[in-house]
Amino acid sequence: MKRRIALLGLALLPLAAMASEGSVKWGYEGENGPENWAKLSPDFFACSGKNQSPIDLSGFIQAELKPLKIKYQAGGQSIVNNGHTVQINYAPGSSLSLDGKVFELKQFHFHAPSENLIKGKSYPLEGHLVHADKDGNLTVLAVMFVKGKANKALAQAWAAMPQEAGEPQALPTQVSALELLPKSRAYYRFNGSLTTPPCSEGVRWLVLKHPVTASAEQIAAFEKVMHHPNNRPVQSVNARPVLD
């Protein structure tokens, strides 16, 4: 349990803290890029594991996946540009129930282009809603974005989006994660990892089948702030089942 909690803390701390002075610097390009993450530090050994995320979701196994039990309230209270993504930190009180456990929503963040692929298809933007249970076990709910109508939750968050990496800033009004989700909550499921160092495995992944829209301007604004793509390449599925 102590190890799970330690990994949870590492996953939920602003990623900039992991790349601060005296710690290992990682990124998405060059010598510190994804292909070298496992070599940068012994703490990143899991990045070369067999159950890594993201993946290309295909070769599905039919399963009776239970409907998601989502209880979200408006709780996005601060925003941070940590140099690796833009992250909205969430107040306690919102949760997702799965496998008889309650996972509290801790934060959500974004990758452009998408990290996961669905049947080989890439999307211009992907959101990751990160949840943790009382023992530090993680569940990530992933949602894909296509270009179209502006997204209300993004509009609220992007209005306060820091243009440079730095400390979290309070949002003027709390953002609701529900505004990020499609009406249909049908999903795929697989076991994977964090998609950034330390790439810890044992993460439950739920990828929503139906995308939502974001305007071209909203997607471009995120890309401009990141300065470069922030998606880890897809990893080998190996022997993992991808449930449909």
Q: Identify the pLDDT of residue 235.
A: 98
- Whether the pLDDT of residue 12 is over 80: the answer is no
- Per-residue confidence at 20, pLDDT binned at 50, 70, 90? very low
Domains of the chain: 2-226 (3.10.200.10)
* Mean residue pLDDT across the chain: 91
pTM of the model: 0.91
Eight-state DSSP code of residue 36: G
- Whether the pLDDT of residue 14 is over 90: the answer is no
- Whether the pLDDT of residue 29 is over 60: the answer is yes
Token duo for residue 183: 């009406």
Q: What average pLDDT does this structure show over 129-155?
A: 97
- Decide if 84 is catalytic: yes
Catalytic option among 84, 111, 128, 131: 84
- Whether the pLDDT of residue 9 is over 50: the answer is no
Q: Identify the pLDDT of residue 222.
A: 98
Check the CA dihedral 211-98-55-16 and report its sign: positive
pLDDT one-digit tens code per residue, 48-103: 999 999 999 999 999 999 999 999 999 999 999 999 999 999 999 999 999 999 99
Site of tokens 């301007």 = 217
Q: Identify the pLDDT of residue 21.
A: 31
pLDDT one-digit tens code per residue, 221-237: 999 999 999 999 999 99
- Whether the pLDDT of residue 19 is over 90: the answer is no
Q: Are 135 and 103 in contact (CB under 8 A)?
A: no
- Per-residue confidence at 23, pLDDT binned at 50, 70, 90? confident
- The string over 151-162, giving b where at least 16 C-beta atoms fall within 10 Å of a residue's C-beta and e elsewhere, is bebbebbbeebe
- Whether the pLDDT of residue 18 is over 50: the answer is no
CA 134 to chain centre: 19
Q: Which residues contact 149 (CB under 8 A, 6 or more apart)?
A: 213, 215
